[in-house]
Amino acid sequence: MKRVVTAFSFAAATLLLSSVLTFAQAPQPSSQSGANTQPDSINDKDIEMLRANLRENRKELMAQNMTLTADEATKFWPIFDQYRKEAIKPNDERWALIKEYAANYDTMTEAQAQDYMKRSTAVDQELHALRLKYVPAFEKVISPKKTALWFQIDRHIDLMINLQLSSLIPLVNASE
């Protein structure tokens, strides 16, 4: 039963993310020669609303899939909230990088491509390090197995979001 709830929850989150992100697609290469496709209009307010929605859904998914006693929940959620608060900064960097990539897609230089790779990897490493930083804090209030469950669920959510984002972001045009 737990697997069904988890699978359904992740599917629902992916569907939500998919429907919300469709308006945020980065520019696609044009099939017409010499024509540049402009990205859809998306502003910072739209992105913030999307991100707030994702944060709320992440917490709901976590709550649905963690079996916490009342005492554990009282101690777990403040740590979880602090962890997610700290995750905002590297995720700000990720969104800025995506916007920059979209803005430079048609004119990307070799140097910009290298910078994109370095910065993207740095964000991934920062988020991974942040998750590892919180393992001891969670283990003080819940068991190591429940901490591992938190770790897995959080990582799976990030992987799903990254998969969805990567499906919307066109690959670098290396033919030029």
d(CA 113, CA 5): 40
Q: pLDDT tens for residues 87-111?
A: 999 999 998 898 888 888 889 999 9
**Domain containing residue 162: CATH number:** 1.20.120
109: left (phi over 0), alpha (psi -120 to 50) or beta: beta
Q: Is residue 46 part of a domain?
A: no
Q: Is residue 139 part of a domain?
A: yes
pTM (two decimals): 0.73
Q: Is residue 30 part of a domain?
A: no
d(CA 149, CA 143): 10
Residue 151 lies in domain: 2-8+52-168
Residue 174 scores a pLDDT above 70:
yes
The confidence band for 164, taking pLDDT boundaries of 50, 70 and 90, is confident
Q: Is residue 34 part of a domain?
A: no
Residue 16 scores a pLDDT above 70:
no
Residue 20 scores a pLDDT above 70:
no
pLDDT of residue 3: 53
Q: Is residue 137 part of a domain?
A: yes
Determine what percent of the chain is predicted with pLDDT higher than 90: 48
Residues 47-51, mean pLDDT to the nearest whole number: 74
Q: pLDDT tens for residues 107-150?
A: 999 999 999 999 999 999 999 999 999 999 999 999 999 999 99
Eight-class DSSP state of 174 = T
The total number of structural domains in the chain stands at 1
As given in the structure block, the two tokens for residue 146 are 């429940």
Q: Is residue 47 part of a domain?
A: no
